[in-house]
Structure 1
Amino acid sequence: MQITHGHSPGAQPAMPSIEHLLWHPVCDARQVQEDPLAVVLMDQALVLWRDQNGTACGLYDQCPHRGARLSLGRICQGQLQCAYHGWMFEGQGHCTQVPALPHFKPGPSQHAKAVAVQERMGLVWVCLDAMHAEQAIWPTFAAEWNASMRKINAGPYDVATSAPRIVENFLDMSHFSFVHDGWLGQAGHSEIPDIELTQSDTGFKITNAQVWQPNTSALSTEGGMVAYTYEVNHPYSAVLTKVPDAQSGVPPGYEESIVLLIQPQTADACRVWF
């Protein structure tokens, strides 16, 4: 009997899912410090830490030796040491030491599986498919590079629903007068005029969306119409830009941009930042 491993002759490797080819936020960058940090992304347990250069690193939270959770280990000279048998792993998942066999040179079967990690917008981001991380999709929005806008990070907020449902809610203006009565909407102003939708290779954009709000912004002195623009170029992110009517008392040229960023932890649990 001949036993083979891997793909059959001529078979093509399975393509990674689109979710594995996205950059996802997983925690505030300040949380990744001297101890291993356990996080969950799309039902995958991960562990994060910083190496000796202060660079954030990430692995699947399972030792290749006996399956122990690597997040229960400790950091030694920038490397992650498993708490079970002391195996050492550097930031790319390569095993560098097996204490029980000091002269053993670990090979690929002793390596842990790494994820791609980057820091951006004060958050740590993960791409589960480290091999294709350079092609992975980032949420993009013009306000990120607008030096004239004041940046405020809000969150995280734990939400007991799926990531697509959160995006759907973020784009839904018709619930304002019912769920957010007296703030984003008001009874008697529930009608939503027609909008304009344009599609592109990277997503879609909603313009000419108008809604009446009793408080058009934190600076408004009275209610008025607000022009909404939505941009979606990432399955689990969206950008809203609000421009209140000048008659509501806001300064000339005033606008707000709100960015929705989602960490899909499980099928019905997410963590959200704005």
Structure 2
Amino acid sequence: MGPIGRVLLDENIVIAKLGDKVTVMRDRCAHRFTRLSGGKVLDNGRIQCPYHGWEYGAGGACEHMPACPNDPIPKKARTPAYETEVKYGLIWVRMDSSWDCTEIPFCEAWENPEFKRQIVAEPYGWNSSAERRWENFTDFSHFAYVHPGTLYDPAYSEPAIVPVDRVSGELQFFMEPGKDMLDNLPEDSPLGSWTYRAAMPFTVNLSIRLYKNDQPFLLWTTSSPTSGDSCRNFMIIAHTDPDLPDETPLDFQKLVLAEDHPVIETQP
């Protein structure tokens, strides 16, 4: 795999599988600052810079300089490597390992054995901060205006005021829209009792008990802050209906996102 260039917290990073390990490091050769993502992964488990062929190991240190193969490699010939873990089909990166108080947010859609089907949606980018994306996902009062006839009946424009509890580092809250809205919403609408578990700063587990068939439905979303005003977003859907095609919940979520997207990108 790789090398693949990405941006995280305004930092250009390169992702590659070196040997059996997924590695993330700064996307910059220590020699002439060329982006390593333009190079290639070698059979020896190193990334080769596309400019002068310097080779970097998983720890970020240069391990071979072709122009002077017999000379000692300077200690400063390295690029920062970041603590990395693969979980839930995603690559998680800790940019500052001096902070040991963070952990990967729980994904119920992946961990709960009740759900036999997990659907990993295509990631999508917005020109909006990750904070704005999280706020949008947990905001009830916009449903009647941004999603009329999709998620919500516009006749119910007064938002529900729900208590918010802090439990084990998460914000948890519950909303139960009126069941009579079903008559004015599409068949695929996930109307039901909604339980939110928000792991700060940018992750939400949404557990739904669907009104239409009393089946459970899970939606997990997390946002990667590429910069202060842009983000890359990931979504996992889980359900228990063996007859439900993957395209059905995916297409509905695309519809909802298409309604949110132009509104959120107008926010400063």
**Structure 1 and Structure 2 fold alike (TM over 0.5):** yes
Whether the 8 Å contact between 1:97 and 1:105 is mirrored in structure 2 is no
Select the residue among 223, 230, 237 that pairs with 2:203. Answer: 237
User: Any idea what the Cα deviations from partners look like across 1:156-176, whole Å, max 9, x if unmatched?
Assistant: 112111100000000011111
Structure exhibiting the larger radius of gyration computed from Cα positions: 1
What residue is the counterpart of 1:28 in the other structure? Answer: none
One-letter amino acid of the counterpart of residue 96, structure 1: E
What residue is the counterpart of 2:247 in the other structure? Answer: none
- Worse-matched range after superposition: 163-172 or 261-270: 261-270
Distance 2:164 2:198 in 1: 11
TM-score (norm 1): 0.76
Whether the 8 Å contact between 1:240 and 1:259 is mirrored in structure 2 is yes
User: Any idea what the Cα deviations from partners look like across 1:161-197, whole Å, max 9, x if unmatched?
Assistant: 1100000000011111111111211121223333121
One-letter amino acid of the counterpart of residue 86, structure 1: G
User: Any idea what the Cα deviations from partners look like across 1:201-258, whole Å, max 9, x if unmatched?
Assistant: 5131112x122343487388xxxx722111112301111111233xxx314xx12111
Residue 114 (structure 2) pairs with residue 151 (structure 1): no
Query: Which structure 2 residues correspond to residues 138-177 of structure 1 after superposition, within 5 A?
Result: 138-149=104-115, 150-177=117-144
- Secondary structure of the 1:47 match is strand
Are residues 180 and 219 of structure 1, via their aligned partners in 2, closer, same or farther at CA, if it must alter by over 3 Å?
Answer: closer
Select the residue among 241, 246, 250 that pairs with 2:213. Answer: 250
Distance 1:120 1:195 in 2: 32
User: Any idea what the Cα deviations from partners look like across 1:10-69, whole Å, max 9, x if unmatched?
Assistant: xxxxxxxxxxxxxxxxxxxxxxx2x4110111111011111123x211110111122111
Select the residue among 46, 61, 72 that pairs with 2:27. Answer: 61
Are residues 181 and 228 of structure 1, via their aligned partners in 2, closer, same or farther at CA, if it must alter by over 3 Å?
Answer: same
Distance 2:176 2:67 in 1: 68
Residue 82 (structure 2) pairs with residue 115 (structure 1): yes
**Displacement, 1:90?**
0.6
Task: Could you tell me which runs of 5 or more consecutive residues in structure 1 were left unpaired when the two chains were aligned.
Answer: 1-32
Distance 2:144 2:28 in 1: 47
CA RMSD, 1 decimal: 2.1
Distance 2:189 2:50 in 1: 54
- Secondary structure of the 2:76 match is helix
Query: Which structure 2 residues correspond to residues 78-157 of structure 1 after superposition, within 5 A?
Result: 78-129=45-96, 131-132=97-98, 135-149=101-115, 150-157=117-124
**Displacement, 1:105?**
2.6
Distance 2:152 2:228 in 1: 30
Q: Percent identity?
A: 28
- Worse-matched range after superposition: 190-199 or 58-67: 190-199
Select the residue among 153, 172, 176 that pairs with 1:186. Answer: 153
User: Any idea what the Cα deviations from partners look like across 1:124-143, whole Å, max 9, x if unmatched?
Assistant: 222212x3476432111434
Distance 1:146 1:158 in 2: 28
- Secondary structure of the 1:115 match is strand
**Displacement, 1:267?**
1.5
Whether the 8 Å contact between 1:216 and 1:226 is mirrored in structure 2 is no
Distance 1:179 1:173 in 2: 11
What residue is the counterpart of 2:188 in the other structure? Answer: 218
Distance 1:80 1:165 in 2: 36
- Secondary structure of the 1:204 match is strand
Distance 2:200 2:71 in 1: 45
One-letter amino acid of the counterpart of residue 104, structure 2: W
One-letter amino acid of the counterpart of residue 85, structure 1: H
Task: Could you tell me which runs of 5 or more consecutive residues in structure 2 were left unpaired when the two chains were aligned.
Answer: 236-268
- Secondary structure of the 1:227 match is strand
**Displacement, 1:200?**
3.5
